[in-house]
Amino acid sequence: MKELPVREQIRLQDYNYSSAGYYFITICVKDRHELLGKVVGDAHLGVPLLELTEIGEEVKRYVDNISSTYNNVKIDKYTIMPNHIHLIVIIKDGTPRCASPTKSVLAKVINAFKSLTSRKFGESMWQRSYHDHIIRNEAEYQRIWQYIDENPMNWQEDCYFVKD
């Protein structure tokens, strides 16, 4: 499957990131260090397994708690990779436009997640900011869902893969 484009993205200035909708989020570990786990098994045979580190297990616990912490936010799908995570975040009930994209519901959820996980390990472990993509239709949603599912199988071709 073709790799989704990756770039540092500035939030869309005219978009309300507190509005109800589906968002594809990628959060990277600082300097792409493989702190979260490693892919083991044979990816070419379609049987890769992501073996999470202790940090990866804690990150998983925090991701799993997002939906129960925020009434109007649901994590619909995610995968934890060795040095990044992908999430489909659903904001169920929109709120009025906020002063800036960095004060939106989405930004607050992601920033709280990054802060809490970093605090747990005593240092900032995430790159500044995150990549977001507003999912606009069912076809995009299905393509992103499949991308998240297949990401471990394509790890060595992933744009975040760092060769030793």
* pLDDT tens per residue, range 36-79: 999 887 656 666 678 999 999 999 999 999 999 998 999 999 99
With pLDDT > 70 as the criterion, what percentage of the chain qualifies? 78
pTM of the model: 0.83
Rounded Cα gap, residues 49 and 69, in angstroms? 29
- Two structure tokens written together for 48: 């890769």
DSSP-derived secondary structure for the chain: -PPPP----PPPTT--TTSSEEEEEEEEBGGG---SEEEES-GGGT--EEEE-HHHHHHHHHHHHHHHH-TTEEEEEEEE-SSEEEEEEEE-S--PPPSSGGGSHHHHHHHHHHHHHHHHHTS--B-SS-EEEEE-SHHHHHHHHHHHHHGGGGGGGSTT----
Q: What is the mean pLDDT of residues 94-112?
A: 73
CATH fold for the domain made of 21-157: Alpha-Beta Plaits (3.30.70)
The answer to whether 83 and 36 have CB atoms below 8 angstroms apart is yes
The answer to whether 23 and 105 have CB atoms below 8 angstroms apart is no
Provide the pLDDT for residue 1: 42
Provide the pLDDT for residue 9: 45
Residue 11 has pLDDT above 50, yes or no: no
Residue 88 has pLDDT above 70, yes or no: yes
